[in-house]
Structure formats: structure tokens, C-alpha cells
A and B are shown apart, each in its own frame.
Chain A
Amino acid sequence: MQNDLKIPIGKLLRADASSFVAGCRVHELEAPALGALVKVKLRDGAETYGLISNITIQDDGLVRQIASRGTLSPEYEADNRYNRNLPVEIFVLTVGYRQAGKLFQRLPPRPPFSLDALWLCDEHELCDFTENPAYLRHILRVQDQPLEELLVSHLAQAKAAHEVMDPQRTNAEGEWYGKACKALIAYLRDDYELMARVLNALGELETK
């Protein structure tokens, strides 16, 4: 595991059994992307994994005033952009955890604690965790956002990682992306509407 490649991208604000929210500064926002695999290291050595399901930038009173003022100097605007009072919020959907070196694709026994650091997983860890696509079922819990877009974002990253890490694995049976799509279809086969939306969205990944 190449720990030096993992990037801290924020600190935990709040959490529950199936999701958590981290806050970060604006300049830290360049690394994480929608659908990226992230993790939080717990104090007992365990790691909770999640997918970034949303990123929100809340306004505050000052930003509202500035926005309504018209033209501002670039320095003033940059100062208010990067030195905000409120952090950027990264919403994470919990998809599994690692304990005593063993990977589980179910919800962890306990959520992480506030101010625990949020780390972006590298390609190795992304491939390692996503090898079994069963974790995709967690994504289907998402209700307040366009689920298919989250899936496309995540699968695009995971597909690219697997292709880089294991370029020989391209046959139909063994190819990771095909396996993931198959698992998704199996999960969604009783929901025609959602399936159609998801597959239409995934089409973009194949045309590239």
C-alpha cells in the first residue's frame, strides 16, 4: 500500500451509520471528485470506506453581501473565496470498512468520529476495494440525488483504475467493468425505470 499517495482532503464534521460528512477548505477541493473512494482511519486501526456522493458549498451572510455588491477587486474576491467561514462539505456514502486487515463491504459497526481525517484512496486501494462489485448495492440507497450520475462518476474512476492496474484483464468474463455492470443489472432488474436511466448514463463510458 503506497500511503504517500493518499491525500488528506478534510476532517469529519458529522456521521451516522451509513454516511458521513467532512469539511474541507476550498483549495483542498481540487482532489476529491464525485464518486471517488475515500476513507477515514479510526483510532482502533480500522478504516471506514465511502464514496463521495455530494459536495456542497454553502453560502453565508458575507458571501451574499459580496455577491450583491457588484464589481469587486480580485484580491477581495479571492480572500472571501478561499478564507470562508464555512467549510466546503463533502458528503460520503459509507460502503464498507477494513478491520484487522480484512475488507468488508457492509456498514461498519460504528461511524467515524468528528475531526477524523478524510483520505482519498489511490488506484491500488480503489482496485482492491472494488474488486468485488457487491458494494454497489450501497449506492442504490441514494435518494436525494441523481443516482445514475453518481454511478457513472464512480464507475468511470474505478474502470480507469482497473484498466491501469491490470491491463491484461480485458476479456468479457474477467473484465472488471463488465462484472460491475452485470452486478448492477442484477440489483436493478426489478426496477425498470431506474435500470433504464442507469444504463443510458453508463453508455457514455463506453462511447469514449
Chain B
Amino acid sequence: MSDLETTPTGENPPIGYVTGGGLEANLQVRLEVPAHEVQEGAFVVTDSDRWRFYGLVTDLQLAATDERFAAESMDRRFTPKLSQLLREETLYTNLVMLPALMLDRGPDLASPEYPAWRELNKDKIKPMPVKTIPAHHAPVRLANRADITDIFGKEDGKNMFRVGETREQGHPICLDLEKLVKRSSGIFGTTGSGKSFLTRMILAGLIHANTAATLIFDMHNEYGPDSTSSDTGAAVPGLKSKFKAEIRLVGLGAGTSFGKLPSDFNLEIPYSEITPEDILLLSQTLNLRETSAQTLSALVNEFGQEWYKKFKEFIVGAMETNDEGKKVPAPKSVAYWAEGAGINAMAAEALHSKLQRLFRSHYLVETPAENALQKMIETLKAGKHVILSFGKYDSELDYLLVTNLITRKIRDTWEDWTDDYHRDSAKNPEPRPLVVAVEEAHKLLNREMASQTIFSTIAREMRKYYVTLLIIDQRPSQIYDEVMSQLGTRISGSLGDESDIDAVLSGLAGRQALRGMLAKLQPKEEVLMLGWGVPMPIPIRSRRYDDKFWAELKGGGTTEAQRKLGRSMAGEPDDSD
């Protein structure tokens, strides 16, 4: 940030002054305005000598010069006028400021040294994590629009994406989408907290800015097609209707559509793509025994890629009579194969029985009509976006199997792509960043599953290969700690459970101070942004997902004529007639 927008004029008036505190204990600020004029989470600024400090209000505490003044109602003892004067002089509010960033402002603006300093440092002046503290009695004020822009950047219609406004004064807060996709991130909140709308907006921002390809595992058909708000009954536009050319809707299994919208193509997974690892991932869901791994290994050893097809064709309990008149397992039976492979027949039959749920899944086929899996990968590589609908296959089993299998293929593709690029960057293009959006993430990333699924690997390592996760969940405490710690940006709506709040704040500085803020967010309206991807934690009033949002995002205005122009500029058909 080389061009600061702060000016000596236009600053908000002081609301108080620093009286104590420190980096660990946060700063104590004595308020000089009524407490109700400042809210928890307010973005405040204090100037001390050449440094400007930026911070958040994390608490407001009533205080008195002597506790006895506060302990008894003054109106009962003194006249109204004296009571009022006494209150003004002896009762006050202490504000707790969590200092987050500081900025070197250089010598005094009017001093002869300033121009030289400015010239020397013009590309170096940017906020840095706070390392010192302001002096006693440094005045504290609410941040103005220029302060917010200095820290969070200015909306540019592309990567600097406005996600909301400050709660007090409504100054726009932007998220740097380019930075967002460099590490995995998470959007959290209880049901009804507005996280789905927020996710839609961020995905819309990513697609519009063309920052990264996105693969969205849409468990509940929320993101692709238009829908209706469960609260207001209002129509909620889906991403597909706004980005017709950029998004491919993929239905799992033949015939799966997105409500009234047809799929662009359907995903059928060939048997040959299923690996024993995919099956073992489902151990908990299928209640597999410990012997399953051995059985699966024997199947692969004997049949190679065809193991799933062959195993499915086996019949449990098929018997025949041998020459000696004894009943023995028939050649097409599981037991027959097991005996031949040196596997316990009962274990093999148990595995076969438990895989019946998969065998009955119609999206798993021997020979798909087209190689839709590869088509998905190619679509993503080409910079388009894919929304996968699970349609009627909405069980945990289907979700786990399909997401893991697709993501494994993606990892392999992007690793190869990145290796090629590093080997010869002149010949091979740089990989396009890919964001994999995962709903109900705790099902894939809980403590038991995280070590087995590909998603934990992506969260940990794949940013080097341009692939990151966007985790969407209502129970962050159920997500494995190690995965949570890898999330660069965390955006959270209201959370009711203490353990969920702890999880969202894990590993962050000042988390104790942010707890109360997170617990008191207004559902559907407010979110807290924090983590590596944002310069400093900040609670915001999130942007509304409505016609105005789309008009602004796509370059239109609020009038029909402006919207029409926006659609035209976005290359969309004019369907207004």
C-alpha cells in the first residue's frame, strides 16, 4: 500500500484516550463519549508520535473513580442536577482495545524531513503487526473510511471484493480474493446464520474476478440453481443463472438435474476408478472390519483395476455339489475366490455384504456414457467452474466416496501440472488456482476421517500445488484441529456452542478477546473475519445477497436499464423481455 488515503482532515473526533494496558493485556482506553456510542468490535485508531495503531474494541467496562459512587444510585441521595454532574465526573467507561496493526506515518507532515522520508519509503509504507504500544493519553478515535481503506483495501470490481461494511459507520470492508485462494479457508456459522448466502457471494466474487477455478460440492442444491429463501420466501438467484457461460452443472448419476435446471453433463464413475483406499475411507460408515483391508488388497492383487467389477459379480453363498456329492462353494461365489486367494471366506463375504450399498449405487457403472470425471477435470483446468449436485444420492456414504474420489483425481492432476510448470515454466503454463468448496466439511474432516481423506492433505500441503479448500460448516469443533490450523482465512457467523467458538479462534492471537465478539454476532447479518487472509480481525455487517449485489457485481446499476447493460457486458442473453 504505497498511496495512503489518510489525511489530516476528515478524521473522526476522539472518543477517549489510552490509560494503560499492553500488547498482552490489550490497551485500556478511557471513554469520553457515552458508552452506547461505541460497540464491541468497532475498528479504532490511535496516533502516537509517528506511529498509527489500528485495533478492535473487544470490551467495554463500567468504572468509577471510587466504587462507592457506582454502588449506590446518586438520584436517591442528591438533587438531579448534582447527580448528573457527579455521574459525569466520577463514573466512566473503559474501552478495551485489541491492538492489531501499526503503521509508520513518518515525520510530521509539515516538517522539512517529510518529503524525503516519503520518497524514500513510498513503497514500504504498509501496516505491520503491532510490536509496540501507543503512549499514555494518546487519543483514540473511530476509524474513518480512509483508515479502513488503508488496511482492507479499496473495492476494485475484481480481486478486492466487498464482503460487507463496518457495523458502526458502514465503511466498506474488502476481502483480497487473490490472497484468499492462496490458502485454505473456512466459512462457519450455525444454521440460519447466513453462511450459505455469504458463501454464494464469495463464490460469485471468485467467479466474477476469475481469480480461481472453483469446484463446489453442492450437497443440498443450494449454489447452482435458483431457489427460494426459507425465511422470506423471496427468490434467491443461483450462481448458474448469473454465470451461465462460466459454470458447468454436473449431476451425479444419470438423470440427476438441478431442480428445473438440466445438468450440463452427468457424472458416472467407472468401476475402474474405485480404489481400496476409497473403500477403506468408508470404514466407519459401512462398519467394515479390520480384515477388510486384507481382503481388498487380495482383490487388487488378483484382478487389478477390475477388482470392484469382479467382486461385485461374486455371489455370496452360491454352492454346488462336487463329484463326491458334497456341497462346496461354487466358482462364482465369494467363498470360492476367498479360498483360492487364501482369505478368510467369512471375512470376504462380510465385506461383500457391506459393499452392497455401493453395488446398488447407479452412479457407479462399469462403462460410463462418457468420461465425465475427466471432463470435469478438463473443465476446471480450462478455468471454468463446476457445481456438482448429488441429487438423490445425498447419503453420507455417497458424499464421502464421491468427493474423495474426485478430489484425489484433482490432486494428481494439479500436482502433475505444477511439476510440469516448475520443470519448464517457459513451455508449461502456470497452474490455475483451484478452490474446492466442501459443505458439511466435518463429515470429511473430523478427527477419525481427516487422516484418511484427501482433504486433509489438501489443507496441509496442496497450496503449493495451487489447490485449496473452502470449508463450509456449522460445527467447526468437529473438524480436526490440524486442518483448522491450516485455514488461512476464517469467516464466521454466529456460533452458539463454546467448543465451536474455540475452534474458529484456535491458533489466533487475541482469541480470548475475540470470543465475546464471536458469541454475540447478529444472525444473518454479521460475521467475523479473521486469520491470515485478512489484515486484522474485524466483525462486519455482511453484504446482502440480493438484486443490488448482482447489479453491483456485474457492473450494472440499480435501474432496469443499468441491469440490462450489466447483463450485456457480462455476455448474458437479455431475458428481460
Assess the B89–A206 pair: CB atoms within 8 A: no
Determine the distance from Cα of A199 to Cα of B83 in the docked complex, in whole angstroms: 9
Interface centre among B69, B79, B82, B88 (most CB of A within 10 A): B82
Q: Which residues of A contact B90 (CB under 8 A)?
A: 185, 189
A203 engages B82 (CB within 8 Å): yes
**Contact A185:B68 (CB < 8 A) given known A196-B77, A206-B79:** no
Shortest CB-to-CB span from B81 to chain A, Å, is 6
Give the contacting residue for B78; candidates A182, A189, A192, A203; CB below 8 A: A203
Contact at B89–A186, with CB atoms within 8 Å?
Answer: yes
Option from B66, B68, B86, B88 in Cβ contact (under 8 Å) with A199: B86
Q: Are B77 and A189 in contact (CB under 8 A)?
A: no
Say yes or no: A192 contacts B89, CB within 8 Å: no
Interface residues on A, range: 10 to 19
A181 x B78 contact (CB < 8 A): no
Determine if B82 and A192 form an interchain contact, defined as CB atoms under 8 angstroms apart: no
A75 vs B284: C-alpha distance when bound (angstroms): 119
Does A126 interact with chain B (Cβ within 8 Å)?
A: no
Is the Cβ of A192 less than 8 Å from the Cβ of B79? no
Q: Are B85 and A185 in contact (CB under 8 A)?
A: yes
Cβ proximity bits A165-194 to B, threshold 8 Å, 1 near / 0 not:
000000000000010011001100110100
CA distance A206 to B66 in the complex (A): 25
- A207 B79 Cβ-Cβ under 8 A: yes
Contact of B68 with A200 in the complex, beta carbons under 8 Å: no
A125→B35 CA distance, assembly (Å): 41
- Given A200-B78, A206-B79, A207-B79: A192 and B85 within 8 A (CB)? no
- Known contacts A189-B65, A190-B65, A192-B69; is A181 also within 8 Å of B77 by CB? no
Beta-carbon contact of A185 and B86 below 8 Å: yes
B66, B68, B85 interface centre (most CB from chain A within 10 Å): B85
The answer on a CB contact under 8 Å between A182 and B88 is: yes
Complex interface: chain A residues within 8 A of B77 (CB): 196, 199-200
Give the complex CA separation of A195 and B77 in angstroms.
12
- Mask, B61-99, CB within 8 Å of A = 1, is 000011011000000011101100110111000000000
Partner of B82, one of A189, A190, A202: A202
Residues of A within 8 A of B66 (CB): 189-190, 192
A178 to B82 alpha-carbon distance, docked (Å): 8
Q: Which residue of B lies closest to A185 (CB)?
A: B89
Which single member of A181, A190, A200 contacts B85 (CB below 8 Å)?
A181
Residues 238-295 of B contacting A (Cβ, < 8 Å): none
Cβ of B90 to closest chain A Cβ, rounded Å: 5
Q: How far is the CA of A41 from the CA of B139 in the complex (A)?
A: 46
Q: Chain A residues with Cβ under 8 A from B82's Cβ?
A: 181, 199, 202-203, 206
Chain A residues near B89: list those with CB within 8 A: 182, 185-186, 189
Shortest Cβ gap from A204 to chain B (Å): 9
Complex Cα distance, B84 from A199, in Å, reads 12
Query: Which A residues touch B65, using CB under 8 A?
Result: 189-190
As a 0/1 sequence over residues 367 to 409 of chain B, the CB contacts with chain A under 8 angstroms (1 = contact) are 0000000000000000000000000000000000000000000
Docked Cα-Cα span, A178 to B88, in Å, equals 12
Note all chain A residues with C-beta closer than 8 A to B79.
202-203, 206-207
Min C-beta distance of A189 to chain B, whole Å: 4
Q: How far is the CA of A97 from the CA of B78 in the complex (A)?
A: 34
Please pick, from A178, A192, A203, A207, the residue contacting B68 in the complex, using a CB distance under 8 A: A192
Tell me the minimal C-beta distance from B86 to chain A in angstroms: 6
Q: Which residue of A lies closest to B79 (CB)?
A: A206
Chain A: minimal CB distance from B67 (Å): 9
Which of A144-173 touch B at CB < 8 Å? Answer: none
Task: Give the CA-CA distance A206 to B82 in the complex, in Å.
Answer: 9
**What residue in chain A is nearest B83 (Cβ atoms)?**
A199
Distance between B565 CB and nearest chain A CB, rounded to angstroms: 54
Question: In angstroms, how far is the closest chain A Cβ from the Cβ of B174?
Answer: 42
Query: Which one, B68, B69, B81, B88, contacts A206 given CB within 8 A?
Result: B81
Which residues of B sit under 8 angstroms from A200, Cβ to Cβ? Answer: 77-78
| B88 CB contacts on chain A under 8 angstroms | 182
Q: Does B78 lie within 8 Å of A199, measured CB to CB?
A: yes
A88 → chain B, closest Cβ, in Å?
Answer: 34
Chain A min CB distance to B63 (Å): 12
The CA of A202 and the CA of B83, in the complex, are separated in Å by: 11
| Distance, CA A192 to CA B90, complexed state (A) | 10
Taking a contact as CB atoms under 8 Å apart, the answer to whether A182 and B68 are in contact is no
**A178 and B69 form a contact (CB under 8 A):** no
Task: State A187–B492 Cα separation when bound (angstroms).
Answer: 48
Instruction: Identify the interface centre among A178, A181, A190: most chain B CB within 10 Å of its CB.
Output: A181
| B residues less than 8 Å from A186 (CB atoms) | 89
Q: Nearest-CB distance from A116 to chain B (Å)?
A: 38
In the bound complex, do residue A182 and residue B85 qualify as a contact, i.e. CB atoms below 8 Å apart?
yes
Closest B residue to A182 by beta carbon equals: B85
The complex places the Cα of A190 from the Cα of B90 at a distance, in Å, of 9
* Distance of B451 from chain A, by nearest CB (Å): 62
A207 surroundings in chain B (CB, below 8 A): 79
Which of chain A's residues have a CB closer than 8 A to the CB of B68? 192
Cα separation A200 to B85 with both chains bound (whole Å)? 13
Q: Give the complex CA separation of A109 and B140 in angstroms.
A: 42
Q: Which residues from A are CB-within-8-Å of B86?
A: 185, 195, 199
CB distance from A182 to the nearest CB of B (A): 5
Q: Which residue of chain A is the closest to B87 with respect to CB atoms? A: A185
Name the residue of chain A whose CB is nearest to the CB of B82.
A199
Q: Bound state CA distance, A182 and B82, in angstroms?
A: 8
* Given A181-B82, A206-B79, A206-B81, 7 extra CB contacts under 8 A: A182-B88, A185-B85, A185-B86, A189-B89, A199-B78, A199-B82, A203-B78
Instruction: Please list the 10 inter-chain residue pairs (A to B) with the smallest Cβ-Cβ separation, ordered nearest first.
Output: A185-B89, A206-B79, A189-B65, A192-B66, A199-B78, A192-B68, A203-B79, A189-B90, A199-B82, A181-B85
- Show 25 residue pairs from A and B whose CB-CB distance is below 8 angstroms, ordered by the A residue: A178-B81, A181-B81, A182-B85, A182-B88, A185-B86, A185-B89, A185-B90, A186-B89, A189-B66, A189-B69, A189-B89, A189-B90, A192-B66, A192-B68, A196-B77, A199-B77, A199-B78, A199-B82, A199-B86, A202-B82, A203-B78, A203-B79, A203-B82, A206-B79, A207-B79
